[in-house]
Amino acid sequence: MKTRGIAAIGVATTMLTAGVLGIAARAQAPARGTSVDPANFSAPEQNPYFPLEPGTVSIYRGTEDRDRLHERLTVTDRTKVIEGVTTTVIHDVLFANGILAEKTKDWYATDSAGTVWYFGEATATYDKDGNVVSTEGSWEAGVHGAVAGVIMPADPKPTNAYRQEFWRGHAEDQAWIVQRTAKVDVPYGTLDQVVRSFEWARLEPRVVSVKLYAPGLGIVKEQDLTGGTESLELVDVRSV
């Protein structure tokens, strides 16, 4: 990466944030109380950019501030029925400096067109003694007005903007796809035809991240661009 002056970086990040906030207005906002139609999930079509193959384990490493991060994401064979849709349970475990920091169960389902939907999560953060200190961010579609969102369109294209989750005041993540033919080098390897998206939450509008999704793998890299310092890259994929 080329080094740029602090002033130039500041201008670039300000422009990026302004652009993302503008796109936020275009992201489709689910209506309060809206629910999905289970009939649309009767013949799930695998999405290459967010595969849900049970037994797949993806390992990520990275940093946040001075902390060393290690994340293990497992697509389980467990399911959970939410609003009449059978979702796949993914276990996401994050360690910081070798100490458990967060555990999450995410619920995803792919519809018959190949769009991957996000139905919620049960998350918990831990202190250094292993005690749960917060479950903030947990939500489930259909509960307290929460609505399922899209995590990856069936045919992702630049300028696609969409909500990934929606529970007003608690879970309001959004995404904006900006590229579909990116090339990226991560510890796992050199990857082509990568989808690049900017992602942010309306509750933290100044925090903007970039995520990269590779065919057959899903997320291979994520990095805060403004408002944060977290960075993670795919280092290994295993089957269990």
User: Is it the case that residue 29 has pLDDT exceeding 60?
Assistant: no
Mean pLDDT of the chain, nearest integer: 89
What is the CA angle 3-5-222, rounded to 5?
55
User: Is it the case that residue 18 has pLDDT exceeding 80?
Assistant: no
CATH of the domain at 103: 2.40.360
Q: Give tens-digit pLDDT for 187-211.
A: 999 999 999 999 999 888 889 999 9
Q: Count Cα neighbours of 29 within 13 Å in the Cβ-side half-sphere.
A: 10
CA distance 204 to 222: 17
User: Is it the case that residue 28 has pLDDT exceeding 70?
Assistant: no
Give domain status of residue 171, yes or no.
yes
CA distance 186 to 193: 14
How many domains does the structure of the chain reveal?
1
Mean pLDDT of 207-220: 98
Q: What are the phi and psi torsion angles at 177 (to 5°)?
A: -80, 130
Give domain status of residue 132, yes or no.
yes
User: Is it the case that residue 114 has pLDDT exceeding 50?
Assistant: yes
Domain residue limits at 83: 6-239
Give domain status of residue 128, yes or no.
yes
Give domain status of residue 1, yes or no.
no
Give domain status of residue 221, yes or no.
yes
**Exposure class string for 155-187: b at 16+ Cβ within 10 A, else e:** ebeeebbbbbbbbeeebbbbbbbbebebebebe
Q: Give tens-digit pLDDT for 150-180.
A: 999 999 999 999 999 999 999 999 999 999 9
CA distance 220 to 222: 7
Q: How many other CB atoms are there within 10 angstroms of residue 65's CB atom?
A: 8
Mean pLDDT of 28-33: 43
Give domain status of residue 100, yes or no.
yes
pLDDT (0 to 100) of residue 14: 42
Question: CB-based burial of residue 70 (10 Å sphere; 0-12 exposed, 13-18 middle, 19+ buried)?
Answer: middle
DSSP line for 67-102: EEEEEEEEEEEEEEEETTEEEEEEEEEEEETTEEEE
